[in-house]
Amino acid sequence: MATREIAGKEIEVNEEGFMTNPAQWDKEIAEVIAKEEGITELSPAHWQVIDYCRKTAAANGSAPTLRAITNGAGVTTKDLFTLFPKGPAKKVARISGLGKPEGCV
């Protein structure tokens, strides 16, 4: 398993750069990854989605799909694409410290 330094911490990642151990995640890591993904600041709306995804993954064992996020986090698909442009399910999973959602390419 590969590792990389994020926010001064050695983090386990897979070949696509997704964290493999969600327990290593914290909000500082989320902010660094968000910047790497082109999101300069995480708003309360971003955190609402991130928190939902982390809770869902803890309960189900995997990152939620786009449809699950829009149904469960209280955001529209359009809003999700505004918050996390160009592949929101994948971006929010990466920022949330989760693996790639099923069905993402």
Q: Would you place residue 103 in the very low, low, confident or very high pLDDT band (cuts 50, 70, 90)?
A: low
Tokens representing 34?
């968000």
pTM to 2 decimal places: 0.92
What digits encode the pLDDT tens for the residues 28-43?
A: 999 999 999 999 999 9
Mean pLDDT value of segment 3-25: 93
Residue with tokens 């449809």: 67
Assigned token pair, 63: 């990152």
- Which helix (H) or strand (E) covers residue 6, if one does? strand 2-6
Beta bridge partners of 98: none
Q: What is the pLDDT of residues 49-79, one digit of tens each?
A: 999 999 999 999 889 999 999 999 999 999 9
Helices (H), the chain: 27-36, 44-60, 66-72, 77-83, 88-95
Q: pLDDT value at position 101?
A: 78
Say how many C-beta atoms besides its own lie within 10 A of residue 78's C-beta: 9
As a whole number, the mean pLDDT across the chain is 92
Q: Which residues are catalytic?
A: 104
Residue 104: the pLDDT is 57
